[in-house]
Amino acid sequence: MTIIKTVFVTGGAGYIGSHCVLSLLDAGYDVVAIDNFANSVGQKQAASLDRVQKITGKEITFYKCDLLDIQQLDEIFTKHKFDCVIHFAAMKSVGESMKQPLLYYKNNIIGAMNLLEVMASHKCYRLVFSSSCTVYGNPTFLPISEDHPIGNVTNVYGRTKYFIEDILKDVVNSDQKWNIISLRYFNPVGAHSSGLIGEDPTTNFSNLMPYIAQVALGKKASLSIYGGDYATPDGTGIRDYIHVMDLAEGHVAALKKLQSNHLHLQVYNLGSGQGTSVLELLQTFEKVTGVKIPYTIEARREGDIVSMYANCDLAKNDLGWRANYTLEDMCKDFWKWHTMNPNGYKTNDPANTNGTIDNH
């Protein structure tokens, strides 16, 4: 098996992508990244990757490229030789996906298909795919292991991930050369401990942590918690929060696995394995930051899942990976990023970075 040296990262400037690129560089890989900035309203250039270069002291080759532009994609694959691909690029707003399903299906599914097509034509068969716990739909048992049934997904965004997982199965089945790991992320939060990179605020606050940040920063008066009478210890919904740097390290572990094993297609949950309620998260955030978060309990939202957390034994046993950061770490690093960058990447670089990334 060829050594994995150069990794192609789609969506590399995004929240999870940029943290993963950092971990890849730290682990000694060369990175070529692309992004179309669809989710990164604050970024005109790849500001996140510019900062990653500062943090690591290493260079990233970057292209502004949309996966729907299969010709440009092919040119990038012609110019470089990739030993593995990590595919983050996707539209990711659950709410928006329900309003514009065709846009989501088009971007996420055609994007993935174009990538697979170009990979095959350049004989690059190693892939790590960003999947999501949303493919499990409403859980029938907890904690959720990888053999939990998938489908019955409650939103379009999740359905695009589910469809792509099915497409990957068929692609692997049709050609045994493929070697693919699909990572099902639970709820990534937090930021790199430097405070220099993190989740760029967008206009969409359907996720809890960005919403909390808005209240903490005084941009919103109070937090709305949807459902306070669920059959959980404190009545609020339970999720499995995972520090984004743990998630990033999960990708490095996946690369190592792909280097020495021909798995065909293997799925791994990446979560903390801990269920945390909305109120627990809120209390931890308040304790760590000293900032009070006023909240109101609102009616349940239709389609919301009550409780969801991962069994991560398979990733532990197969990849030698486990989540190490605590909920306190997630809150602390998250808050550091937000206080240092109240306007995300539009904030002048707090580290006074004046290097610029090599934008091709």
138 binds a copy of itself (CB under 8 A): no
171 binds a copy of itself (CB under 8 A): yes
106 binds a copy of itself (CB under 8 A): yes
Among 45, 56, 72, 100, binds a copy of itself (CB under 8 A): 100
Catalytic residue (choose from 15, 29, 136, 157): 157
CA–CA gap between residue 198 and residue 42 (Å, rounded): 12
CA–CA gap between residue 216 and residue 235 (Å, rounded): 23
CA–CA gap between residue 222 and residue 212 (Å, rounded): 8
170 binds a copy of itself (CB under 8 A): yes
Binding span for a copy of itself by CB under 8 A among 9-17, 95-103, 219-227, 263-271? 95-103
Among 27, 38, 94, 98, binds a copy of itself (CB under 8 A): 98
Q: How far is the CB of 206 from a copy of itself (least distance, A)?
A: 16
Beta bridge partners of 144: 310
Among 174, 203, 260, 354, binds a copy of itself (CB under 8 A): 174
303 binds a copy of itself (CB under 8 A): no
In sequence order, what are the residues at sequence separation of 6 or more whose Cβ sits closer than 8 angstroms to the Cβ of residue 354? none
- To the query of whether residue 295 is one of the catalytic residues in this protein, the response is no
117 binds a copy of itself (CB under 8 A): yes
Pairing state of beta strands 84-87 and 6-10?
Answer: parallel
Cis preceding linkage at 143, omega within 30 = yes
Our CB check for a copy of itself shows the closer of 148 and 192 to be 148
Our CB check for a copy of itself shows the closer of 111 and 210 to be 111
DSSP state at residue 106: I
Q: How far is the CB of 151 from a copy of itself (least distance, A)?
A: 5
Binding span for a copy of itself by CB under 8 A among 46-54, 163-171, 281-289, 291-299? 163-171
What is each CA distance from 4 to 84, 109, 282, 329, in whole angstroms? Answer: 7, 26, 41, 31
68 binds a copy of itself (CB under 8 A): no
286 binds a copy of itself (CB under 8 A): no
Instruction: Tell me phi and psi for residue 329, to 5 degrees.
Output: -60, -45
Closest listed residue to residue 346, CA positions, set 55, 44, 38, 53? 44
Binding span for a copy of itself by CB under 8 A among 165-173, 192-200, 221-229, 293-301? 165-173
What is each CA distance from 297 to 220, 225, 273, 278, in whole angstroms? Answer: 16, 5, 26, 11
110 binds a copy of itself (CB under 8 A): yes
> What element of type H or E holds 316?
helix 313-319
Binding span for a copy of itself by CB under 8 A among 156-164, 228-236, 251-259, 335-343? 156-164
173 binds a copy of itself (CB under 8 A): yes
Among 116, 128, 308, 357, binds a copy of itself (CB under 8 A): 116
The structure tokens listed for 259 are 């280097």
Residue 74 CB coordination number (10 Å): 15
DSSP state at residue 145: P
264 binds a copy of itself (CB under 8 A): no
Is 32 strand, coil or helix? Answer: strand
314 binds a copy of itself (CB under 8 A): no
Q: How far is the CB of 171 from a copy of itself (least distance, A)?
A: 5
* Cβ-contact 249, 316 below 8 angstroms: no
102 binds a copy of itself (CB under 8 A): yes
Sign of torsion over alpha carbons 138, 211, 48, 338: negative
Closest listed residue to residue 178, CA positions, set 188, 186, 170? 170
Q: Would you please indicate which residues are annotated as catalytic (active-site) residues?
A: 157
User: Which residues of this chain interact with a copy of itself, rule CB under 8 A?
Assistant: 98-102, 105-106, 109-110, 113, 116-117, 120, 151, 156, 159, 163, 166-167, 170-171, 173-174
